[in-house]
Chain A
């Protein structure tokens, strides 16, 4: 376990910072929004990111991966968080790739993982069925008919769902609606007949689709892992997604906070720099304290994935809950400390504010993770 970055990871961080600030600054997200881009991210940028190896950063070398582990992934995601870069990094390179890696057959791995690594295949996890994160409450069904499964149901808040090549659909194959057993995962081509996909523009200028399935037929070899035992794959996948997203959220918080501190050093009111006012100094110093705590949590969570995965559930919930509260605090304070200009669309702070709110809901809000942490602690 390491709570400091090694040299390799710091070099990766520098590369990511240079590349993203040059090629995908916050301005790029604004352009995607204003141009009503059909994909919601730049495919060209994603190809470049894949060339840098970021699509395969956690994949073993045998599948064309970089094998840098989650701490390596975390430094890239944090930099992508600083620039609010829209890309399939989370949905494909983290959630999609780990689903295959943890649950896939050797045939699935050798077919799909090299394509993910090359940036040729994008995935999206079709999990949620209601407006609040509840990963075991699955009503979408998959029923065996002949050699194929027929999928019926509806999914919501599917990140990058409209643009992904394939969906990982969480379906119920037995048991009651909220059982964790009886869940199975299926790899479904997004162009299959019976799929109705509606792209939704979210407040962060990114995408989450609503997708319905009507007798969508998939062959039995599209099952990921064992029938009815999808939860054993899904839970560790979700935890890896939570940790990765928390690392990205650290980037929102760092960037937003640093911009705010800079503003405190240049804005003059009542004949003084506003950063000299103790009312603002103490709030900024409190945020610095929270950032330090969250920094330790993130480093621990990332290295737990690689070094002590049996401890992951507790640490993943800690990371997501702490980072949810951090980005809420920092983005709210950033707007307030910028004053009126903080409420304008021209200033980029608003992009951080809105992205933070979406990220807070993805894979569980604070209440969800507090409840899970308490339950894991036995109370």
Chain B
């Protein structure tokens, strides 16, 4: 049933929105309303510093207001608000161009998992630390040999009575070299169906036996790492959920990751122009139209697809609010990341040779970022489940096609 919002509810929401707007207007420093470069982002963590004094003030005000994660419970430092209110805060922040005060995998992924599967002690230990920016998290899912077959986890955690002994290695651990803790899928039973012998374990990266090396990527970045575990002792209290039920926790988390990736276009820290803005800078116009018919046609295809994708994000939200299930959220990772690749190819084509600069003074930051984002976009349809895996999931779970 689509609960059509009642008039008094709508009026309350209008009131809430104007209060949010007023508060943001009064509390967001002017410098925190400017577009953000990568070095302006704050990710928190033990050794972290704020990029500026204003960034610190902004973060602390948002934290004290409970709006770092508005929909998390107040007893752990959240705002205790519902999804509609949280969306209003997000919209008003966007309206004001207010920066996101802190980024983090703890907020996007681990927090929701601990809130859903964790014990009271685990919630007390981890949730507030995430909100306060005290602990930066990374994800330990993939392994060097596992690729798309995520459940083929080999890193093992042996039950040693009072602790687990962890050995193995994890790859594509995002920013592991800057993270304090890692959440891992580990093999706790090798003798059952592969999905049924996996556990979800939280590991302090300061523990003895852990080493991390960054991986250089085609984009020139090295935000991904490989992390090695050599006889690492992990307390048993760090298990999330029951032993050997890690696969369910992981699957629930993947939903968050895929949703995040499907929306990543608007969150990218790279300073690239939107394609229709780039057209005005880099393309010739005749009679108010882009002169090159091929690029004009590709641009309008892209803009229409993004229009449709944006509407589908709205629909997903409205359906969730109304308690309606549809296939829309399941297709969004595939659709969103494929569109990111189209966008990058389109920008590269529009910029011509100015999109090929890699470093140096000749090219603007935007131009170099365009080239690098293009290279980075190739990984977006691989990370978090390849497009092919996404299509398999749609075929199986939505269309219920027979499995071979």
Residues of A with Cβ closer than 8 Å to B?
A: 2-7, 261, 264-265, 272-273, 275-278, 281-282, 284-286, 288-289, 292-297, 299-300, 318, 321-322, 370-371, 373-375, 377-379
What would 10 more interface pairs be, CB under 8 Å, given A276-B404, A292-B331?
A2-B2, A5-B2, A264-B401, A272-B404, A282-B388, A285-B392, A285-B394, A289-B394, A370-B300, A379-B280
Q: Which residues of A contact B388 (CB under 8 A)?
A: 282
Q: Does B307 contact A (CB under 8 A)?
A: yes
Q: A265, B2: Cβ atoms under 8 Å? A: no
Contact A374:B395 (CB < 8 A) given known A4-B2, A297-B308: no
CB distance from B136 to the nearest CB of A (A): 34
Q: Does B217 contact A (CB under 8 A)?
A: no
Query: Which of B326, B334, B402 touches A289 (beta carbons < 8 Å)?
Result: B334
Q: B4, A295: Cβ atoms under 8 Å? A: no
Query: Which of A261, A289, A379 touches B296 (beta carbons < 8 Å)?
Result: A379
Contact A379:B299 (CB < 8 A) given known A293-B312, A296-B314: yes
Q: Which residues of A contact B288 (CB under 8 A)?
A: 375, 378-379
A299 to B311, CA, bound (A): 9
Q: A379, B395: Cβ atoms under 8 Å? A: no
A/B interface sample: 17 pairs, CB < 8 A? A2-B4, A7-B1, A7-B2, A261-B401, A265-B400, A275-B401, A276-B404, A282-B388, A285-B390, A285-B394, A285-B398, A289-B335, A292-B328, A300-B311, A322-B304, A377-B300, A379-B276
Q: B401, A281: Cβ atoms under 8 Å? A: yes
CB distance from B243 to the nearest CB of A (A): 34
Contact A277:B404 (CB < 8 A) given known A318-B308, A379-B296: yes
The 8 A CB mask of B139-182 against A (1 = contact, 0 = none) is 00000000000000000000000000000000000000000000
CB distance from B168 to the nearest CB of A (A): 30
Residues of B with Cβ closer than 8 Å to A?
A: 1-2, 4, 276, 279-280, 285, 288-290, 296-297, 299-301, 303-305, 307-309, 311-312, 314-315, 318-319, 322, 324, 326-328, 331, 334-335, 388, 390-392, 394-395, 398-404
A281 to B387, CA, bound (A): 13
CB distance from A164 to the nearest CB of B (A): 33
Which secondary structure characterizes the binding site on chain A?
Answer: helix
Q: Which residues of A contact B309 (CB under 8 A)?
A: 293
Q: Which residues of B contact A6 (CB under 8 A)?
A: 2, 4
Q: A318, B307: Cβ atoms under 8 Å? A: yes
- Chain A, residue nearest B394 (CB): A285
Top 9 nearest A-B pairs (CB, nearest first) are A285-B394, A281-B395, A3-B315, A296-B311, A285-B391, A293-B308, A289-B331, A276-B404, A275-B401
Q: A2, B318: Cβ atoms under 8 Å? A: yes
Q: Which residues of B contact A300 (CB under 8 A)?
A: 311
Q: B279, A379: Cβ atoms under 8 Å? A: yes
CB distance from B398 to the nearest CB of A (A): 6
CB distance from B198 to the nearest CB of A (A): 25
Contact A4:B300 (CB < 8 A) given known A276-B401, A293-B308: no
- Chain A, residue nearest B390 (CB): A285
CB distance from A6 to the nearest CB of B (A): 5
Q: Which residues of A contact B335 (CB under 8 A)?
A: 289, 292-293
Q: Which residues of A contact B300 (CB under 8 A)?
A: 370-371, 373-374, 377, 379
Q: B403, A370: Cβ atoms under 8 Å? A: no
